[in-house]
Structure 1
Amino acid sequence: MQVKDILQRTDKLPNVPDVVRELIQLLNDPNAKYEEISEKVTKDQTISLKVLRIVNSAYFGLSRKISSIEEATVLLGMDKLKTLVIASGFANSVDSVEGIDLKAFWSDSFRVAGLAQWFAKRSEDVSPDDAFTAGIVHNIGRLLIHLTEPETAKQIQTMVSERKAGRVKAELDLLGFTSQEVGKALTDLWKFPSNLGNAVQQHQRPFADDDPQPLACVLNLACYINACIRHDREADLVREGFPRSVAKAAGLSEGIVYELDDALAIGDELNQLLD
């Protein structure tokens, strides 16, 4: 089997709204007309309702109720709106997946995205928009494997849970390729900026190439902190195990290790999009 065989199962691909894909394609375009995107978001009722619900939640604490995407854009800014639209579009891209708790899957992806954005804002080498989007899609390849090859995905899960192999080795043994490769191929198919796909493919081993990509390094750090949060690791142990060489390659200062308490406290407000 090859990665292309999975991509040819077009009936199984996540159904990401056109407006979300178009928005991601424009992330690195300085001349992008985001007003047009706002208009298209307005026409997508599912996304609009979810975005407006979270905008009107206690998290934002706005003094009055926001009733339109245009108002939300003015009050929150396009950067925040882009974040909400991209997260919402992916959260609703599939209805059910055998072997995956979708709510937990997207909640985990949202936190990685928020952490990647947090690191990117402290680096001169990485766009926060790119980092957030890379976090959202960093595990999309695993989702696609479960959608297209559920029995093989189940075998991979069993090997990992029984500690017979790490996930990468299990995927290579049973599929011949990794979920990161599938994720990159899918972002290429969707015509996302190439740096997003490269980061998805490289983030687990950012130093596999001689020239590590800063975005892949930021994503690696986000996954590290996310794992620490998931396992309720003490802050001192988080700092002790923090991959400083990866942080340096991500364009972060040595002092970032002393800010990690803030990263560990990043909230889960985007989970409201999953209700």
Structure 2
Amino acid sequence: MPELSQEKVEEILKGIKIPPQPQILVDLQMEQAMPDPDINHIAKLISRDVGLAGTVLKVVNSPYYGLANKITSVHQTVNILGMNSVINIVNGISIKSALSDDSIKALTRFWDSAMDVAMVSITIAKQIEYPQSDHAYALGLFHNVGIPMLMAKFEHYMGYMLGGYSSINERVIDFENQQIDCNHAVVGYYTAKSWHLPEVLCDIIAQHHSAQNVFGQGQAE
């Protein structure tokens, strides 16, 4: 869970614009929540957006997914990977689209890095035979999603980030808290929650700069 109080978080989020889920994701999650979801309907929903469908196919046909044969349709994608996997992929694609701004070079580099992390995460998940490699993809794109939103709110935020990452005595989120009373892990957590990512991914985003705390709790138990 985030390290700031709920009251403080609510105060912080008042000044930050969390992008709304696109309608396609709302529709997909409504179908996903049905007692007997219709995968054909899910495939049709995605296929209506030609750009989204093309990006989904590009992702699943990348070498990182390691599929034996090329997938040529969204319907085939849903049948092979499963409904939950495809919706997680759409989540990752959509958040990148919602927060991208080609006129800001730092954001372009940010998303290039996030995509690299997503693809490496898939590769590792496949190598260790993790059954939900789509979680790895979504996490790769979402784990630092609070950064572009804080960039939009605070003019000198990138300087704070650089200061945090160059510090040898404190975590970057501690440095952020000192400078702006907020940090990208907390903002990322609440963004992931509002986009209805799986709870485990939301928790990882909240704690991704607190690995020592997480493993320390496990050892204590």
Match of 2:4 in 1: none
Match of 1:159 in 2: 163
Q: Give 1:41's match in structure 2, choosing from 46, 57, 79.
A: 46
**Which structure 2 segments of 5+ residues have no match?**
1-6
Q: Give 2:122's match in structure 1, choosing from 112, 117, 124.
A: 117
Q: CA deviation at 1:175?
A: 2.1
Match of 1:5 in 2: 11
In 1, the alpha carbon distance for the partners of 2:173 and 2:78 equals: 41
In 1, the alpha carbon distance for the partners of 2:50 and 2:173 equals: 39
Give the alignment of 1:86-105 within 5 angstroms: 86-96=91-101, 101-105=106-110
Give the alignment of 1:1-275 within 5 angstroms: 2-9=8-15, 12-20=17-25, 32-51=37-56, 54=58, 66=72, 68-70=73-75, 73=78, 77-78=81-82, 81-82=86-87, 85-96=90-101, 101-123=106-128, 127-147=132-152, 149-157=153-161, 159-160=163-164, 167-209=172-214, 210-212=216-218
- Residue identity matched to 2:207: Q
Identity score, percent: 18
Q: CA deviation at 1:174?
A: 1.1
Contact 2:146 2:188 (8 Å CA) reproduced: yes
Q: 1:112 to 1:99 in 2, by over 3 A?
A: same
Q: CA deviation at 1:109?
A: 1.3
TM-score normalised according to structure 1 size:
0.57
Contact 2:89 2:134 (8 Å CA) reproduced: no
In 2, the alpha carbon distance for the partners of 1:134 and 1:86 equals: 10
- Residue identity matched to 1:150: F
- Residue identity matched to 1:4: E
- Residue identity matched to 1:8: K
In 2, the alpha carbon distance for the partners of 1:69 and 1:55 equals: 12
TM-score normalised according to structure 2 size:
0.68
- Residue identity matched to 2:195: W
Give the RMSD, CA atoms, in angstroms.
4.2
Kindly provide the CA deviation profile for residues 49-108 of structure 1, in whole angstroms up to 9, marking residues without a partner as x.
4345x3798979978x94x5335556x644775565344322211242886633322221
**Which structure 1 segments of 5+ residues have no match?**
213-244, 246-275
In 2, the alpha carbon distance for the partners of 1:71 and 1:62 equals: 11
